[in-house]
């Protein structure tokens, strides 16, 4: 099993994926530092500055780092975990060696998960490194962002488990990698790209809440999972800068009328969107992930390779 684990792990680091992840991380770190340098010239309070940075860091991580980049890396690897072996006829060769099907499945899935976590760690370190080098923040700000980096690793691990479960299962259903990869890629683009745009349109037309489309809003559901982890640091303030842009990609907040005694220029207040329960969403995806891994193992156990 150790050989299978190591081979799967090492195959994830290619001349294509590494530059993409590094480039995306450099871009995210550059944007985070740029926002900091822009705001710090206005002599803001520490609370406002830290909250604005947190919102920006959350948005970049949710959409770009732990979103599209890590999702696509997991999709590319997990979709071919077993499909490639079946298509190329190497599964029979592997099983002819002193390796059980359980060791084969666990070794491949374990190598894929470990590789994705390595990518996530490298990416977040690059973001913080570029931010630190360009912005030269004070120690308190850096410690504050390090706390968020830790919870981002926890959230990223959850996303990797989910994407890996879907990809592993699909890899046992198709005889080639491409169909499984296309399905996973479509899901990723739906969650982090297409759905936010569609939601903005349906909300402007007044049909999003009326038709209870949040029940099918995968982007909002993943944002709830993300928020359940970031709340370990504290709830983001709706008054922080970039919160409206962040909300476009998450739907975590909603605008409600203010009390008649409260005077705000906007006439409304942003509060946490509780259309769905984060506990139920996290639990539901956790169960789904466990079921898909179990089904992957069962299908590989019963797979006829003669």
Query: Tens digits of per-residue pLDDT, 232-289?
Result: 998 887 777 788 899 999 999 887 765 555 444 444 577 889 999 999 999 999 999 9
pLDDT at res. 266: 47
Structure tokens at 193: 């790209």
Least confident of 44-48, 143-147, 290-294: 44-48
Distance of CA 228 to the CA centre of its chain: 13
Mean pLDDT for 100-127 is 92
Task: Kindly write down the DSSP assignment for every residue of 211-280, as one continuous string.
Answer: TTGGGG-HHHHHHHHHHHHHTTT-PPPTTSTTHHHHHHHH--EEEEEPPTT---SSSEEEEE--SS-HHH
d(CA 268, CA 250): 19
Tokens 């990809």 belong to which residue?
167
Alpha-carbon span 207 to 202, nearest angstrom: 5
Total number of domains constituting the chain = 1
Token look-up 């592993």 returns 168
- For the CA atoms of 231, 24, 114, 112, what is the dihedral angle to 10 degrees? 120
Contact 165, 292 (CB under 8 A): yes
Question: How would residue 155 be classed by pLDDT, with cut points 50, 70 and 90?
Answer: very high
Read off the tokens for 41.
């010239």
Domain that holds residue 69: 2-302
Q: List CB contacts of 220: < 8 A, sequence separation 6 or more.
A: 195, 199, 214, 250, 251, 252, 273, 275, 276
- The CA-based diameter of the chain, rounded to the nearest angstrom, is 77
The pLDDT, as a whole number, for residue 235 is: 85
Nearest to 143 by CA among 128, 123, 121, 124: 128
Residue of 94 and 293 predicted with greater confidence:
293
Is the pLDDT reported for residue 142 higher than 90?
yes
Q: In this structure, are residues 73 and 163 in contact, taking their beta carbons and an 8 Å threshold?
A: no
Residue 133's pLDDT band (boundaries 50, 70, 90)?
very high
3-state secondary structure of 102: helix
CB 21 within 8 A of CB 73: yes
pLDDT value, residue 265:
46
The Cα–Cα gap between 280 and 42 comes to 42
- pLDDT more than 90, % of the chain: 65
Mean pLDDT value across the chain:
88
| pLDDT of 240 | 73
Query: Would you state the structure tokens that stand for residue 111, as one six-digit string?
Result: 């190598």
Q: Which percentage of the chain shows pLDDT scores above 70? A: 90
Q: How far apart are CA 108 and CA 78, in angstroms?
A: 9
> Which pLDDT does position 175 carry in this prediction?
81
Confidence at residue 257, expressed as pLDDT on a 0 to 100 scale: 65
- pLDDT given for residue 270 in this prediction: 75
The SS3 call for residue 32 is: helix
């Amino acid at each position: 099993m150790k050989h299978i684990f190591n081979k799967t792990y090492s195959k994830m680091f290619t001349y294509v994926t590494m530059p993409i992840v590094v480039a995306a991380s450099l871009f995210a770190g550059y944007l985070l530092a740029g926002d900091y340098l822009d705001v710090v010239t206005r002599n803001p309070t520490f609370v406002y500055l830290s909250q604005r940075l947190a919102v920006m860091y959350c948005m970049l991580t949710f959409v770009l780092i732990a979103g599209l980049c890590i999702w696509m890396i997991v999709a590319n690897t997990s979709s071919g975990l077993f499909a490639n072996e079946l298509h190329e006829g190497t599964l029979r060769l592997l099983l002819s060696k002193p390796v059980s099907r359980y060791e084969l499945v666990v070794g491949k899935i374990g190598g894929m998960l470990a590789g994705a976590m390595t990518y996530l760690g490298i990416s977040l370190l690059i973001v913080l490194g570029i931010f630190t080098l360009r912005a030269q923040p004070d120690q308190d700000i850096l410690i504050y962002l390090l706390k968020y980096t830790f919870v981002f690793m926890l959230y990223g691990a959850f996303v990797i488990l989910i994407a890996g479960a879907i990809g592993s299962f699909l890899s046992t259903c198709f005889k080639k990698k491409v169909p499984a990869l296309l399905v996973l890629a479509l899901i990723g683009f739906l969650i982090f790209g297409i759905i936010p745009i569609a939601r903005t349109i349906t909300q402007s037309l007044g049909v999003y809440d009326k038709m209870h489309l949040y029940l099918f809003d995968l982007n909002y559901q993943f944002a709830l999972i993300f928020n359940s982890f970031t709340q370990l640091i504290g709830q983001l303030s709706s008054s922080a800068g970039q919160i409206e842009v962040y909300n476009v990609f998450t739907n975590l907040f909603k605008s409600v009328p203010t009390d008649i005694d409260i005077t705000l220029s906007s006439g409304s207040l942003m509060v946490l969107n509780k259309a769905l329960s984060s506990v139920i969403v996290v639990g539901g995806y956790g169960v789904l992930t466990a079921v898909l891994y179990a089904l992957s193992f069962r299908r590989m156990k019963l797979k006829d390779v003669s």
